[in-house]
Amino acid sequence: MAHPDLTGPGAPEGADLSSLRALVPRAAAQAFADGDDRLTATLLQRARDACEPGTLAWAVLERLLGLAFIHVQREVEGTFALERADALLDELCGAQGSSQGSQVRPDLEWLDLDESGGNGAEGAGAVPGVPGRGT
């Protein structure tokens, strides 16, 4: 599995693990823990859609969505999501002059409530209309 640490070599300037993990809606992590795969995907899609396409935040959430799809055997959708996200992560991280952009990848551990690193309602991950994540 790919390396989940976005603070290592190849991370864009200003990117740190806790701020990027905070993009993950706590409700999505809870739904994943509860085995509610449909709700997990819905909440990740809403969070992704609230981000500007082409940004690091969008790519992180798109990758997590792809992994969630693959986890429930929706391999085709998941693979396409991973391809979109990984290409963007490579582009964004490679733009910082790193040859290791391919190592910058979130994984399903980001949906682990115990390891969440800040899946609270604050920060850039707020999603309008999602309890605990919106305004």
Instruction: Give the residue from 68, 48, 59, 66 showing the smallest Cα distance to 111.
Output: 68
**Tens-digit pLDDT profile for residues 8-61:** 333 444 456 667 888 899 999 999 999 999 999 999 999 999 999 999 999 999
Higher pLDDT, 2 or 65: 65
The answer to whether the CB of 106 falls within 8 A of the CB of 6 is yes
Higher pLDDT, 52 or 122: 52
Amino acid at 117: G
The answer to whether the CB of 57 falls within 8 A of the CB of 20 is yes
**Tens-digit pLDDT profile for residues 81-101:** 989 999 999 888 765 444 444
Does 130 score more than 90 pLDDT? no
Q: Is 8 left (phi over 0), alpha (psi -120 to 50) or beta?
A: beta
Amino acid at 107: D
- Helix 37-49 with 56-71: angle, nearest 10 deg: 160
Work out whether the CA dihedral 98, 59, 35, 126 comes out positive or negative: positive
